[in-house]
Amino acid sequence: MAGVGNSDLQSTAAICARTLEQVAGHDWSVRAAELDWTVGQTLSHVAGCLMNYAASLASRTQQQLPFRMSPPVRRDGTPMRPADLIQAMEVAAAILGAVVAEAAPDARGYHVTGLADPEGFAAMGCDEMLVHTEDIMNAFSLSFHPPPDLCRAVLARLFPWAPEAAPWDALLWANGRRALPGHARLGRDWAWQGPPLSEWDGTIKTYRD
């Protein structure tokens, strides 16, 4: 299976943008599924994460940066509109993708899960967009079904411990969103395998590790 990279980031951003455009006319001040954020805050979080991943990989930092890239804000200071937030996600994905594409395969950057490589950051960016798009669509009682091959690639890179199941179902399980037959729902302390898979120790990662 080919690794996760810039093309996957751009495909994911396009898929999620088209999906989110369907609800751009809804009230984005409602809570996003089971999260503590509103729909608008959730997508702002996604854009901010992608920018911070890009900053970490571009700088090759070996420790947490003493600052965070700010969530997107409108130039005139007015609240971000749904269309603005969707565009911010796409722009952030383009920036992260450009950094991933230019980085050497062995480049590393800090992430709380460990020193991630370009493929790890690309996969984490895809995961952020996919799963939070699901959270947002759920807020409006709508479904989201991304391509199985994309889900399978992200799942294989970030969650090598995931059980056999339909790729999207397994990805949601790995992100603590649902249970699977024979596998209880994970808690909020779930985590990714950010560093290369060659460094995985065979355990299910959590943020307490």
- What is residue 78's predicted lDDT score, i.e. its pLDDT? 81
- What is residue 2's predicted lDDT score, i.e. its pLDDT? 64
Euclidean distance between CA atoms 148 and 158, whole angstroms: 15
> Is the pLDDT reported for residue 1 higher than 80?
no
pTM above 0.85, yes or no: yes
Adjacent-strand bridge partners of 114: 111
| Domains defined for the chain, CATH in brackets | 6-199 (1.20.120.450)
- What is residue 76's predicted lDDT score, i.e. its pLDDT? 84
What beta strand segments (E) does the chain contain?
109-111, 114-116
Average pLDDT, the chain: 94
- What is residue 33's predicted lDDT score, i.e. its pLDDT? 87
Euclidean distance between CA atoms 207 and 189, whole angstroms: 5
Euclidean distance between CA atoms 180 and 92, whole angstroms: 32
pLDDT tens track for 48-94: 999 999 999 999 999 998 888 777 888 887 888 999 999 999 999 99
As a whole number, mean pLDDT of residues 17-33 equals: 96
